[in-house]
Amino acid sequence: MADATLDLDAIRARFPSLASGVAFLDGPGGTQCPQSVIDAIAAYLRDSNANLGGAFDASRRSDELVEHAHDTAARFLGCRGEETIFGQNMTTLNFGLTRAFGRTLEAGDEILVTRLDHDGNVAPWLELAHDLDLRVGFVDIRDDATLDLDDLERKLTERTRVVSFPLASNAFGTTPDAGRVVGLAHAAGALAWADAVHYAPHGPIDVATLGVDVLLCSPYKFFGPHLGLAYGREELLRSWRPYKVRPAAEEPVGHRFETGTLAHELLAGFVAAVAYLNEVGWDAIRTHEQALGQHFLDGLPERCELFGLRTMEGRVPTFAFRVEGLTPHAVSERLGERGIAVWDGDYYAVEAMKALGLQPEGAVRAGFVHYNTPAEVDRLLEALAGL
């Protein structure tokens, strides 16, 4: 299955939840799991459920699993195993990492975030600024929900310590020019801190190619279980004093930032999710998703107002829109009654919704991933036309 064509029937047969007949177009909020992920979680709990460091077989198997999970994360992100960090979720990890980094900052230092970000990559910086008397600046977005890189360049100063940005907008699907953002940040002497949560199910991640210093993502957005994953450049991680209990391991360096006992069964599910993605192949995923997105754009009824790019260039297949005469919540409810799962509200993209004047109701959000079908897109379009 690693070529550029998906056997969609075979793919869908691997996801038990899809047999329900529901059109799961809610992927931006979390994807479904293949049976292999479910089996891996159950197998760990059945055969290896023990804490680490014990002189007995189940504990040794848990030790091996944790190491294997970090190695798998390294291959998934394009880094070294010791640079990977697991946690409860992206937001919790981000609060912990920003706190550790905050120990190196001084009053008056500046952080730049973007109005395209999920609040999980904004609020940690706002809270840090509250405690340390830092300044937080917001990089604006344009009317088409693309990041204003000229505004980023204008707002960088000699006091800027971090540029925090998304690889893809969880609200509008926009994919900023990450290379340009990283280049501008580094030229100003600032770190590049990337939120890859929304991008991760849609394309490969290589932190070395991106040049980012920190990157965070969430396996439950790419067909795995609920947990968080982060990368931190080794030199950077070694320069921070972590918040941890004293007996916790100092090496590998990423472990310093993993507080408490990890959810081992979810690590087993993460390993299985990455194996699944490797079997399917990113070329096939991207080709299929681009076709689904274009099909949606071509058929969107006139009474629907789309927010963001009206092309598949520079975006992933996530779409925010409103239907004339109906609130976003009413639309999502009526679609739900028809067996079509979508989201409404602001999806924690607080600044983006403010910037486009969509508060307080937000918008309807539909997102496609590789297990979705053209027939499901048609179901959505027909339902929207008939509401």
pLDDT of residue 5: 82
Taking only the tens place, the pLDDT of each residue in 205-222 is 999 999 999 999 999 999
Taking only the tens place, the pLDDT of each residue in 321-367 is 999 999 999 999 999 999 999 999 999 999 999 999 999 999 999 99
Q: 298 pLDDT band (50/70/90 cuts)?
A: very high
Strand order in the sheet with 135-139: 84-87, 228-232, 214-217, 191-195, 160-166, 110-114, 135-139
pLDDT of residue 231: 98
Does 40-276 match 8-25+281-386 at the fold level?
A: no
Asked if the model's pLDDT at residue 248 lies above 50, the reply is: yes
Its pTM stands at 0.96
Q: Which residues 6+ apart lie within 8 Å of 246 measured at CB?
A: none
Residues 141-146, mean pLDDT to the nearest whole number: 97
Cis preceding linkage at 201, omega within 30: no
Asked if the model's pLDDT at residue 1 lies above 70, the reply is: no
Taking only the tens place, the pLDDT of each residue in 72-88 is 999 999 999 999 999 99
Q: 62 pLDDT band (50/70/90 cuts)?
A: very high
pLDDT of residue 4: 67
Asked if the model's pLDDT at residue 105 lies above 50, the reply is: yes
Q: 65 pLDDT band (50/70/90 cuts)?
A: very high
Residue 356 Cα to chain centre, angstroms: 22
Using DSSP, state whether 222 is helix, strand or coil: coil
Taking only the tens place, the pLDDT of each residue in 15-55 is 999 999 999 999 999 999 999 999 999 999 999 999 999 99
Asked if the model's pLDDT at residue 3 lies above 90, the reply is: no
Asked if the model's pLDDT at residue 2 lies above 50, the reply is: no
Residues 366-387, mean pLDDT to the nearest whole number: 97
* CATH architecture of the domain formed by 8-25+281-386: Alpha-Beta Complex (3.90)
**What's the fold here for domain 40-276?**
Aspartate Aminotransferase; domain 2 (3.40.640)
pLDDT of residue 219: 98
Identify each DSSP E strand in 18-159 by its residue range: 23-24, 84-87, 110-114, 135-139
Q: 249 pLDDT band (50/70/90 cuts)?
A: confident
Q: Residue 158, class by beta-carbon neighbours within 10 Å (0-12 exposed, 13-18 middle, 19+ buried)?
A: exposed
- Give the start-to-end residue ranges of the domains of the chain: 8-25+281-386, 40-276
